[in-house]
Structures are given as C-alpha cells and as structure tokens.
C-alpha cells in the first residue's frame, strides 16, 4: 500500500499519461515538421531543512477470523439479541461477542445418536475387558494348582513311587493350564485394544456433538453473519466473521529511504479521517523484512489500543513524519512529471539547445518521491538548477522544438 502522497502522484501522472498517449520516445521527420510548442519553464529547486511526509494507513483488526462449521447439518438455532427497535432478532453485525458464546447450532440428534452408539460399544468393550481379566485370573489359579501337583508328582517320580502314566498326566495338565494362561493373556490384550478403540470412537463422537455448536473464539465484534435458521450447511461453510478491535493495527508502506524513520517500538501519533479533531497514539509493531515486489515499498504495522472500539476496520488514518536528516530535497511542480507507459518510467523534459539558436527538449528519467503540496520530491535523476518544462510537458515528445512563454 502506498502512502496518500504517493497515490496522489500516481493518480496525477496517470492522467498525464493519457494525454501523452504513449508518444514518449518518438522522433523523426514528423517531429521536425511540428511548430515549436509553447511551454513554461521552471528551475529545479531544493527545499531547506527537514521534510514532513504524510502516509495514508488503513485500520485493521488485531485478529479477524471467519468461523465455519466442522460438520454438516441443518441450522436450528442462531443467537438472538434485542435490536435498537426493541425487537428480538438474529444477531447482527456490530454486536459484541464474548469468548465461548454460542453463535449458532446445527441439529444435534444425529450426532447424539453416534454418541449413544459409541457409549454402548465402550460399555460392551469394558465388560469384555472385565471378563477377560476374570478368565486370566482363573487360568492363573488353575496353572498354579497344576504346577503344584506336577511338582509333587515329579518328586515321587524321582523316588520311583508313581507310575509313568501318572507322571505324564500331571505334566500334561500343567502344560494345558499354561496354554490357558497364554490364551487368556492374549484375550485380555485384545479386549483392551477393543476398549481403547471404543474409547476413541466415543471421544470422537462427543467432539462431533460439541462441534454442533459454533462458539466465539475470543472477545470480538461481529462483522458478518452468513447463516439463518433452516439453512443446510456443510463442513467449512462460513457462518460468521468476527474481529478483535480492542487492539487495532494501522498498515501503510514506505520507500526504503524512509525506513530509518520507523524503528520498532517508536511511538507514532496519527489522525483518523473519521475523527479529524482527535489524535491517536500508536507504536511501531513491525517493519516488513522485504519489499513488495510490485511497489518496491516496505509495509509498516502500527499497533493502537482501542478500548472504546471507536476505531473500526477499514478506516483511513494519516501519519505525518518529519525526516530527521537535515538535507535538501529536489522538488518540481507535479505538472512537470510525465509517465511513460511504454517503459513504465517517469520522465521530465529538459532543454537541449540545437544549432541556429533552436531549442528542443530531451526526456530525463527520474525517480519520484512523496508529494508535498503541489510539488513532488525527486529522489534521483535531477539536480538543482536544471531548467525543465513545467507547463505543457504532457504534450511533448523527445526532440520537440519549444519556445518559452511567461
């Protein structure tokens, strides 16, 4: 975004470009045949001392969010408030909202059914875990008894006090009960996995049920409402736009030559067009680390407290800053600046004497700066004392013959 002065320069020069009709850069017999053009000349001057530049900024919210439903469904409720006419109606833009306030709700019965089913599955899986734990405990008890019996039989076998079939039968019972413990352990692990999956499904179903309500994420002002009761919404459907205006940001752009005037943290007074008799105090919040590729300017963000919500999104603010450097800047009348659309550059016309006392003009490329009154600062391309065309420049082409008029 350019400052207001730079926008004015562009606008004025754009009008000049229309008058020029892309004629910059043409020369030849056609020019030679043209009679001398009557023009007024001016000497390039320099301003004394520090300069003050006015930048135009746009007020923006500290945070702005478009609220959308995560789920599909029919809108069955939109928050209602009493209007200035005393009637109760759906909340309108400009209404304040607080954190967590329910703004709208979609039909919940479908999602409540999912919660009930997930709850039933979770209860069933919990019962399965309890049954698996009981089976494992029983298997452990049987294994302990079988191990005890086998230990006694094994000792008697060593003393040759029991027969081989008795020993083998006791060992087999021990092996079977051990296998039952392993099976019960695996069954318990599977039951716990089913229980975890059921818990996850229940949590997801409850989240979906909670998402049937659309709530304000922070204290804000309602900017837009896009839904009404009865509307069928799908996931991602924009419903409301809210903005935090308790703190606002003023955004504007400056050329690289002005960056040193806007260090982070610097207090910055400004005026707002809507309240011309008031002054507001801001503070430089950030400076863009890179220039905009199109405008070659850097965005400055200024933060301002707005406790009364007087400043609103989209208002225009003016920031006037004096250049601390004590330097002389070259200035020319705005009418002397011509835009060459073919080369996308700005030029002025300087005198170029020819043989026989004839005077022609030549185009000098310049880099314009901020607008100061009806004059524009020239950052590069001109020197103090040069004579340039001030009136009639839009009608000239390089090489045109001119005669000065007073």
Confidence of residue 323 (pLDDT cuts 50, 70, 90): low
C-alpha 381, offset from chain centre: 38
Share of the chain above pLDDT 70, in %: 86
What is the per-residue pLDDT for 332?
80
How many other C-beta atoms can be found within 10 angstroms of the C-beta atom of residue 180? 18
| Confidence tier at 4 by pLDDT (50, 70, 90) | very low
Q: How far apart are the first and last CA of the chain?
A: 39
- Indicate if the pLDDT at residue 8 is higher than 50: no
> What is the DSSP annotation of 43-97?
E-EE--S--EEEEEEEEEEEEEEEEE-SS-EEEEEE-EEE-TTS-EEE--TT-EE
Instruction: Tell me how far CA of residue 21 lies from CA of 47, 306, 370, 383, 396, in angstroms.
Output: 32, 48, 25, 28, 10
Phi, psi values for residue 74, rounded to 5°: -90, 135
How many CB atoms are located within 10 Å of the residue 67 CB?
A: 21
The pLDDT tens digits for 268-292 are 999 998 898 899 999 999 999 998 8
Question: pLDDT for 242-253, tens place per residue?
Answer: 999 999 999 999
Rounded Cα–Cα distance for residues 40 and 391 (Å): 5
Give the pLDDT score at 388: 83
Instruction: Say how far residue 325 (Cα) sits from the centre of its chain.
Output: 35
Reply yes or no on whether the pLDDT at 29 is more than 60: no
pLDDT in tens, 355-403: 666 677 788 888 877 666 677 777 787 877 788 887 777 777 787 787 7
How many residues make up the chain in this entry? 406
Largest CA distance in the chain: 146
**Residue 318: is its pLDDT beyond 80?**
yes
CA distance 349 to 363: 5
For residue 228, count other CB atoms closer than 10 A to its CB: 10
Taking the CB of residue 69, how many other CB atoms lie within 10 A of it? 22
This prediction's pTM: 0.55
- In angstroms, the CA 360 to CA 134 distance is 109
């Amino acid at each position: 975004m350019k400052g207001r002065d730079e926008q004015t320069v562009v606008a004025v020069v754009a009008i000049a470009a229309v008058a020029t009709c892309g004629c910059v850069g043409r020369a030849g017999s056609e020019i030679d045949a043209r009679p001398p053009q009557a023009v007024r000349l001016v000497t390039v001057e320099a301003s004394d001392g520090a300069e003050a530049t006015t930048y135009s900024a746009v007020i923006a919210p500290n945070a702005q969010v478009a609220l959308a439903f995560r789920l599909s469904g029919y809108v069955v409720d939109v928050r209602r408030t009493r209007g200035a006419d005393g009637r109760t109606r759906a909340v309108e833009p400009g209404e304040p909202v607080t954190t967590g306030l329910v703004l709208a709700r979609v039909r919940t019965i479908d999602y409540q059914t999912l919660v009930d089913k997930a709850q039933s599955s979770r209860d069933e899986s919990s019962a399965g875990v309890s049954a698996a734990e009981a089976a494992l405990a029983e298997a452990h008890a049987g294994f302990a008894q079988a191990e005890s019996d086998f230990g006694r039989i094994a000792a008697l076998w060593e003393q040759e006090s029991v027969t081989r079939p008795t020993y083998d039968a006791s060992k087999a019972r021990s092996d079977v009960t051990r296998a039952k413990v392993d099976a019960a352990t695996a069954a318990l692990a599977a039951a716990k996995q089913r229980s975890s999956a059921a818990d996850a499904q229940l949590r997801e179903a409850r989240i979906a049920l909670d998402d049937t309500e659309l709530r304000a994420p922070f204290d804000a002002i309602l900017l837009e409402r896009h839904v009404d009761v009865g509307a069928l919404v799908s996931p991602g459907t924009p419903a409301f736009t809210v903005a935090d205006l308790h703190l606002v940001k003023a955004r504007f752009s400056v050329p690289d030559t002005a960056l040193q005037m806007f260090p982070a943290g610097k207090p910055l007074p400004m005026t707002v067009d809507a309240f011309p008799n008031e002054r507001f105090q801001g503070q430089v919040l950030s400076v863009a680390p890179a220039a905009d590729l199109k405008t070659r300017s850097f965005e400055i963000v200024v933060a301002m407290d707005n406790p009364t919500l007087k400043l609103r999104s989209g208002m225009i603010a003016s920031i006037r800053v004096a250049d601390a450097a004590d330097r002389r800047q070259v200035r020319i009348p705005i009418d002397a600046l011509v835009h060459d659309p073919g080369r996308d550059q700005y030029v002025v016309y300087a005198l170029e004497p020819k043989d026989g006392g004839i005077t022609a003009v030549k185009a000098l490329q310049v880099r314009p700066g901020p607008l100061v009154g009806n004059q524009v600062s020239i950052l590069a391309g001109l020197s103090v004392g040069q004579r340039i065309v001030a009136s009639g420049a839009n009608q000239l082409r390089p090489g045109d013959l001119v005669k000065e008029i007073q």
